[in-house]
Structure 1
Amino acid sequence: MQGTRLHIDIALQQLRLVHDGATLRSYPVSTALNGVGEVHGSGCTPRGHHRVRAKVGAGCAPGTVFVGRRATGEIYSPALAAAHPGRDWILSRILWLTGCEPGINRGGAVDTLRRYIYLHGCPDGLPMGVPASHGCVRMTNADVIDLFDRVAVGTPVHIDDGVSTSVHPAGAVP
């Protein structure tokens, strides 16, 4: 029995919720504008095997604003966005990832957890299906809330760029 897992396909900009080998749901996502890579400060989405380390935001209203994984008490609105131009909005729910591969996405300068890589909601209207994030995996608010309710802490997450067959700490493909 394979259980529940998530598969994020960077090339397709798609997240699939899989249970026992069958796709239950498919969601459009937006990964990093800077592409794939594992190094801290790169602004890239890390590849490889991960797990959901923590779930943040259970019971919060759609559009709840998070900073440092804490609800600010704000609900996203166009007026709030206008008051904070350029803010990287983390909304509704957070699934915080941790890497499972030492030297690749766990530990040192390639640690997914310490890079604060999340699956999270973003302002409605931001495009899905195109890379635009700062490294995280953005989802619509409705989709991240739906996914949040379907997965548990510890759920495996595989992030695949569809190109490389192995991942290296510097993000280079041999």
Structure 2
Amino acid sequence: MIVSIGSGTLQFFRNAELVKSYLISTSRRPPSNLRGSLGTPRGLHQIVERIGGGQPCGMVFKGRVATGQHFSELPDSEQEGRNLITSRILWLGGLEEGVNRSGDCDTRARYIYIHGTNHEARIGEPLSAGCILMRNLDIIELYEEVRTGDLVLIRD
């Protein structure tokens, strides 16, 4: 996969052939690999964990555990200004020592995911606190195609 922060796209490849391009959202802040920056990290990553298989579309996750609630069931006060983690989670881990792996720049330790959101109408805008956000049906579709260990290149 190639995530382009600037164009707001995630391209999914199989055997070096482009299968599909998805519209995404990344951080409201400038790209950054540093802990506490809230920026989307750059560089070569891999999927270290796939979470949420079999859950209904729109399921809300807290601490990577399904809450049993669809985001539409939550009051507006619990959704306003918050990007909920919904539908599926692809947890990313950096592969470049000192760039996005270990120390103050460890992508996995920052809990950077590709995941669904409760703000689907805003996909394409800078929206997250570092994660890569997708429409719920899109992340479910992508989740079924990828495996742990698959590579993800995040670039400007």
- Pick from 118, 121, 128: which aligns with 1:123? 118
1:96 aligns with 2:91: yes
Q: Which residue of 2 aligns with 1:80?
A: 74
Which amino acid counterpart does residue 62 of structure 2 have in structure 1?
A: V
RMSD of equivalent CA atoms = 1.1
- Pick from 153, 156, 160: which aligns with 2:151? 156
Q: Which residue of 2 aligns with 1:168?
A: none
* Pair 1:56–1:37, CA change in 2 (3 A): same
Query: Cα deviations across residues 26-82 of structure 1 (Å, max 9, x unaligned)?
Result: 1000000102000011110000000000000000000100011111111110x5141
Which amino acid counterpart does residue 34 of structure 1 have in structure 2?
A: R
Q: Which residue of 2 aligns with 1:112?
A: 107
CA contact (8 A) 2:120 2:136 kept: no
CA distance in 1, matches of 2:82, 2:11: 28
1:47 aligns with 2:39: no
- Pick from 10, 13, 18: which aligns with 1:15? 10
TM-fit CA distance, 1:107:
0.1
What is the number of equivalent residue pairs in this alignment? 155
TM-score between the two structures when normalised by the length of structure 2: 0.95
Which amino acid counterpart does residue 61 of structure 1 have in structure 2?
A: P
Larger radius of gyration: 1
* Pair 1:70–1:28, CA change in 2 (3 A): same
1:28 aligns with 2:44: no
Q: Which residue of 1 aligns with 2:54?
A: 59
SS across alignment from 1:149: helix
Task: Flag structure 2 segments of 5+ consecutive residues without an equivalent.
Answer: none
Which amino acid counterpart does residue 147 of structure 2 have in structure 1?
A: A
TM-fit CA distance, 1:150:
0.3
Q: Percent identity?
A: 41
TM-score between the two structures when normalised by the length of structure 1: 0.86
